[in-house]
A and B are shown apart, each in its own frame.
Chain A
């Protein structure tokens, strides 16, 4: 946690759900956690970035609306690429309409748009900046610190990538919290219940299940399991395949090669899926410029049959998590559903059957994670001390030993922070360094596990082979992120460590992205200007309202109406985020109300004098 906030850091800490399909922020208030949004706007910000002509970049709803018109330059589901290697995203490469390329050393995934290459971290940062801007607009304060959620099953590189995205966006990620754990916080806070709860989280791109034990306000995750490749997007794709097959059959056209048509069908498939959660049957008419629109029909039974294999896989994960927790379904007191895909009736039904109880669905499954993140944010901001979250590392962590075997140092489901130490030595005389390759996974051979990074111990004093004793400490912090330190026991010297993350960015790369991002500098300036303007406008409006409410103020109805119209206009401009117009309006209003303020002071003094002793 080297980038933890210094003690003097002030300001709000928000909770952010950085989702595959949408993102949102929430904050703790005295009435409990609440989601943040621009005036009258939906708090759910589509996690979509679109590059428009003329170098303009849009994020959120506007970007999502470009998905069909501008498919190859509109990036969605970037979360699926975070912290992953090129060879690992084979599935994504075939689904996603934008261009995914490998970095020079073929390990990192890059997204190529108009000849420029972006890391998933940079694109996620654009989404986070939009979330930050919304939070700042809603709070009227700069926001620099956040708790960000990730799927429980994210490994170290994916978590690190998320932290790096935050850093690029100008946010300090005070904590990375697992999504199902955040959901449990959101539910647990209301009721103060004790016992064992299972959180079933089926989102757009990932599935997670976590088993938690709550005792005296301590939320201890006892086991977690999941699949980073299972979610509502898979259901959309299954429907899409059906539609494409039908079109091919009816027209002989293969639309797979047409990104625009493909995007349109993807969106239609998603709409159809959503409709089937509330209706028994849904019909699509897709106009592809063919002589007659393509008609596609699906009933709920057909849909359920289509998605059943994925749902069965989620139930296998549930059984595995319970087995790890050494519990049976009967030991579970509560089941909580999270993620948009848990709106599907089949999911509710089979999860209810699997645990023999009706799952909780009181909180909006799209918002519950952000609300929980806000609760944790409050703890980290020094607000609440009642609550403590004890999370686990989702995958075992270890090193490569002789012959490519995987030696586990920390087993999965260990409570974090946790650490392990291991002794290393040299195999040749005067060897100056030792290579340590760190992996994460459950298999016996490193080739079947995920490589996290290569650590090179350097600066060992010259000694005969086998004599140096280097104690290496692997510490997994409360975010589930690994740090490695090493000490040579005979010399007592701290060994140097060069880290080469296998699927992430080095510290220097993150720094250079921050430095190079021109868009960032410009937008940050604009964002700050907007925040300051909004604050100024807010103060003015509040002041004027107070004056208008004073009984001793002799306003004519016409003046009153004029001022109220001005206030409405300023509030509309503030909500819209229109900097130049808001600036002009605020300045004009400022001049106008200055006279009022003088008059008000005069009136107040007069009223005070008239009141007498």
Chain B
């Protein structure tokens, strides 16, 4: 897995240290102009990876929020405030994408291969047929008020999701460069999530 983009390796113009984020220098607090290729991983100083260290992410998020939030830039004029709003919005987006596993993985795939999700959205017919059957059976079980059958079907969906999660958790799967496979796995997870959501299962 390649480490973050070049931006994170640059030095802070104020203190000369590694900033640790493209939004602001975590060492000295200076707000930075983001490079054009900045991404959510670089914003929170996290390596590009299907996994994140949630505690480290949260520490960076809180520190950056304190630096960027418009509350602390009220008296600095219009431009500073706009920059604070923009920076905070990017930071919040980075946090919500990186702390939600499906969003993070889809985002990572797009970074590795832009448009991959859109190009590989046609799923194998066998998978679709099985998913449709599963969904209908679940609906029938719920309508027929058969909670045990419904629970068993929900468990089957969850099992299928866990199997795919296990694959997606492998760093080697990501470094292999088979983005078509990754896209397919991620789309399949979406289908399963929709089945659970339609069935009213959290």
Contacts and interface: CB of A to CB of B under 8 A. Distances in A.
A382 to B, nearest CB: 6
Which bucket holds chain B's interface residue count? 20 to 34
A477 B85 CA distance: 7
B3 interface: no
Contact of B70 (A382, A385, A478): A478
A478 B85 contact: yes
A390 B64 CA distance: 12
B41 interface: no
Nearest to B70: A478
A257 to B, nearest CB: 47
A461 interface: no
Contact of B71 (A380, A415, A418): A380
| Residue of B66, B74, B95, B202 with highest tally of chain A CB at under 10 A | B74
Contacts of B90: 419
Interface string A372-398: 000000011010010011100000000
Interface in B133-165: none
Given A7-B76, A7-B77, A215-B62, A418 B70 contact: no
Given A1-B81, A4-B81, A478 B69 contact: yes
A266 to B, nearest CB: 41
Contacts of A385: 66, 72
A174 B74 contact: yes
30 contacts: A1-B85, A4-B74, A6-B77, A7-B76, A175-B71, A215-B58, A215-B62, A218-B65, A379-B71, A379-B72, A380-B74, A385-B66, A385-B72, A388-B65, A388-B66, A414-B96, A415-B95, A417-B85, A417-B86, A417-B88, A417-B89, A417-B92, A418-B89, A419-B86, A419-B90, A419-B93, A475-B85, A477-B85, A478-B69, A478-B85
B71 A5 contact: no
A475 B72 contact: no
B125 interface: no
Nearest to B87: A417
Contacts of B62: 215-216, 218
Interface of A: 1-2, 4-7, 9, 174-175, 215-216, 218, 323, 326, 379-380, 382, 385, 388-390, 414-419, 475, 477-478
B92 A323 contact: no
Contacts of B70: 1, 417, 477-478
Contact of B92 (A175, A380, A416): A416
B75 interface: yes
Nearest to A379: B71
A471 to B, nearest CB: 14
B92 A5 contact: no
A220 to B, nearest CB: 8
B75 A7 contact: yes
A478 B71 contact: yes
